[in-house]
A and B are shown apart, each in its own frame.
Chain A
């Protein structure tokens, strides 16, 4: 059965809390992994999987589904937590993250058979090309599925992203929506210090995309942006979602040092309590 969607802000808020708690739990158990970006993207994924996308957790390969491509494979923990929350597999399995033989690889690997996972990815700058190919195929087959692709902001420094951006606009892929997790930081520090991305909105506009900006932690803002995508019918859409790395845990918010770090068991307990509040 296609997952029933909701526009309820409080329902989405509860789901996002549960997803964030799952992320913290699975990372603490794994002992390594990427907490910062998982937290900054949590509200985007919650909105997509519970308010926007047409999908069926009981039938992950349903042809008519919308597709979600995670280009930044390193935030796999939040994708796994979202898929489990939606019912693709039991939430207990989240505790196997990064373990030998697990379906929850450190970066997504389809060869391990996790339901709901659309793409093995982890090398940055590839996902938008794959999503572009999927959107072209959907158009060829007159399939009304939409393709969503989540990119990181640091990832936009990869030239291949802009090859894909050029191609998607050229082929008028109005069935493609890119979302940028604009948390402003990457491993070495602020994106604007490491390699400046601004003016980011103008760049996407210049490449021919319908460009929206929103608060990536405000469900109303996110939902209304997704509703506005592709109204022009000839352009792909991009939503630049302003977010905070580590969102939901005050002590780590905005701190780039939490990009690739997992909490200790003690920290995790405190984080989980804080998220519940």
Chain B
């Protein structure tokens, strides 16, 4: 399929896509229930809550309990969806996630909202930048990180229909380009080639995939033909697609709105170093917190945009062995 003509249909938050997907899942599956930890509308669960008040369980600002209750609901045959800010759903509840969910291997969908510095003015406390790292080391856990609102909607359905055990779905707050089409579908565990190229591969996730596509257009002008790989499933990682990218492009740039350590950068490095070592550069957070500011300016400040990807791609291209 030729995806080279991606265009932005208009900005839309992945949070909105998540909420629409949850509503759709609720209509399709009566066993889907949602849990609220006070910030229901802010994480996109309000659509479901008003459509299915009898299947929405308000538990207040008590995330550890929300996670344990989700485990109990799953043990009784429900498919619970518990969404809150990623800083809470992945970090405050980590022990509950590890034991009550992962060790029991229960099919619970965890929503991680407010990911990345693009959360904006709320600042560092509410910008999830460590959630992928924590969730992907948990045995039995699947980690999804859709690239736009359309894909976020599909990700919720895929989490319910295609995945087993606990699933973490990461999404953002800010309205960002909505550019994929529903017809592209969502196959959990499969990377998507959004642009062909063989001079370097940009492997991106979440909001950074759009930035990667813009970077590839810029690089094209310089004669660097970059492949763009969208990783909507960070775990299990599509290893063959990553290895192919290394073999066919000879250089890799990873791009994520997350700490490089433990995040997509680490995940790709693990596969490449074992199977097909090539030069690699990382676009992401480098061991620092975010801060308050307008989302796009923060992304620029922390080197999380197309410009930063262009620079890292030029650099990795030059590092390719003669």
Contact = CB atoms under 8 A, between A and B. Distances in A.
Interface of A: 109-111, 118-123, 125-138, 140-141, 143, 159-160, 163-164, 166-167, 170-171
A62 to B, nearest CB: 13
Interface string B59-82: 110101101111111111110100
A121 B99 contact: yes
Contacts of B68: 126-130, 132-133, 160, 164
Q: Is the interface of B mostly helix, strand, loop or mixed?
A: helix
Contacts of B57: 136, 171
B105 interface: yes
A130 to B, nearest CB: 4
Given A129-B65, A140-B54, A123 B99 contact: yes
B72 A131 contact: yes
Contacts of B72: 129-137
Interface of B: 33, 54-55, 57, 59-60, 62, 64-65, 67-78, 80, 95-96, 98-100, 103-105
Contacts of B100: 119, 121, 126, 129-130
Given A109-B103, A167-B62, 18 more contacts: A110-B103, A110-B104, A119-B75, A122-B99, A126-B64, A126-B96, A129-B69, A130-B68, A130-B69, A130-B100, A133-B69, A133-B71, A133-B75, A137-B77, A140-B33, A141-B77, A170-B60, A171-B57
10 A-B pairs with least C-beta separation: A133-B72, A129-B68, A137-B76, A163-B65, A133-B69, A163-B62, A134-B72, A130-B72, A160-B64, A133-B73
A134 to B, nearest CB: 4
A64 B282 CA distance: 54
B75 A118 contact: yes
Nearest to B108: A133
Contacts of A133: 68-76, 80
Nearest to A159: B64
Contacts of B60: 166-167, 170
A21 B62 CA distance: 41
A121 B106 CA distance: 13
Nearest to B103: A120
Contacts of B33: 140
Contacts of A137: 72-73, 75-78
15 contacts: A120-B99, A122-B99, A128-B68, A129-B69, A129-B100, A133-B70, A133-B71, A136-B73, A137-B73, A138-B76, A140-B33, A140-B78, A143-B76, A160-B68, A166-B65
